[in-house]
Amino acid sequence: MEISVALIVILLVVGIVFLIIELFLIPGTSIAGIASAILLICAVYFAYKGLGATAGNITLISSVVLAGIAIWLFVHMRTFDKIELKTEIKSKVDPLKGLNIKVGDKGRTQSRLAPMGKVMIDGNIIEAKTRGEFLDHNTEIVVVEVLSTNVLVEKSS
């Protein structure tokens, strides 16, 4: 079987295209990555087998260099500028906004606090945490500290 230079070049080019697809468009171990590895290995193998050791060495070195150049070009061409999201999120989540919860308020657990869970204080169900202790469902609690997103509670005595 006669191996042509055109076949080796086509295998290299398609292998590098699949490598770019794998790295930038479909990251993870996917068909593109596996196809890229198979095509690049086949190109180098066919070069060694059909054209000799010198051509095989040139193919091996050129595949690594061309893959590096292709990756560098793809990163520096700003290809993703047209499709990437450029907006900033400036809103904040404030689950305790509008609630008048203060230290000393009493309530009852709505779920098991292990050490976080839900509590009902003044008719409002909010997220709460303990200082490491576990509290069962429907346990009387007292607010120890009001934090920005939840409250710190302990078992009521």
**pLDDT tens, 38-67?**
999 999 999 999 889 998 999 899 999 999
Structure tokens given for 4: 């042509």
81 band by pLDDT with thresholds 50, 70 and 90: confident
Instruction: Please tell me the distance from the alpha carbon of residue 8 to that of residue 39, in angstroms, as a whole number.
Output: 9
Residue 84 has pLDDT above 80, yes or no: no
What is the enclosing helix (H) or strand (E) of 155? strand 151-155
Instruction: Please tell me the distance from the alpha carbon of residue 116 to that of residue 110, in angstroms, as a whole number.
Output: 11
Whole-prediction pTM value? 0.52
* pLDDT value, residue 96: 80
* pLDDT value, residue 42: 92
